[in-house]
Amino acid sequence: MERLTKIRLGLHDILTSVVFGVTAGVLASILERIDAMATGGNATPLGYSNTYAWILLSAYLYGPLGALITTEVQALIGFWTLANPLSWLWPFVNAVFALLAGTTAVALQRMRPQTPARTRIITMSTVLALLDIPAVYFVMVTVLGLPIIAYYLGLPVYIGLQLIPSSLIAYLLLRTLEKSGLKI
């Protein structure tokens, strides 16, 4: 039987979401610096994949609140460590993604409770990929002031990052946690 997404969180669930956020934040501080060196801060493929993998995992396990806790802890660590030039923006953008992923997890559970984990993660990831359409525009064109061609070139990259590495990493993290015997 597949694990059900929690809607009400206990102290253990909140603390686990915080630990996920700290882990994601430490990784983001490293990965986003690598992204900045490679792209000058105009793209964050490694940081993006890291962040959204942890959002998917936390949303799968703990719904909207767990995903929100995870992403906000991660984003605040990135902000405090100045992980990349856009660190100030991530708490706001990632909150929208976290709430949507968590809401999708809960809705899918209610509509089809026997859906396998990989299908639920892919479904959440697909919904987030659709949210990439306005979000990537907002970040690239509105915030960074890049030309519209940058948006058209960047959008498939971010949708691809969402659908492939983020989903795969989230699924592998879930399976690793389940096999570890830890209470998650």
The answer to whether residue 2 is domain-embedded is no
User: Does some domain include residue 3?
Assistant: no
Determine, yes or no, domain membership for 6.
no
The two tokens of residue 122 are 């892919």
1 within domain boundaries? no
| Contact partners, residue 130, CB within 8 Å, separation at least 6 | none
Is residue 155 within 8 Å of residue 41, measured between CB atoms? no
97 by Cβ neighbours in 10 Å (0-12 / 13-18 / 19+) ranks as buried
- Per-residue model confidence as pLDDT tens digits over 103-154: 999 999 999 989 999 999 999 999 999 999 999 999 989 998 999 999 999 9
Tell me which amino acid residue 166 is: S
Q: What is the domain extent for residue 88?
A: 11-180
Residue 4 lies in a domain: no
Q: Rounded distance, CA 71 to CA 141, Å?
A: 23
What is the per-residue pLDDT across 17-63, written as a single tens digit (0 to 9) for each? 999 999 999 999 899 889 888 987 667 899 999 999 999 999 999 99
CATH of the domain at 133: 1.10.1760
**DSSP tag of 144:** S
Q: Is residue 115 one of the residues assigned to a domain? A: yes
pTM value > 0.85: yes
Neighbour tally for 112: CB within 10 Å: 12
- Provide the domain count of the chain: 1
Q: Does residue 82 belong to any structural domain of this protein?
A: yes
Tokens of 114: 């026997």
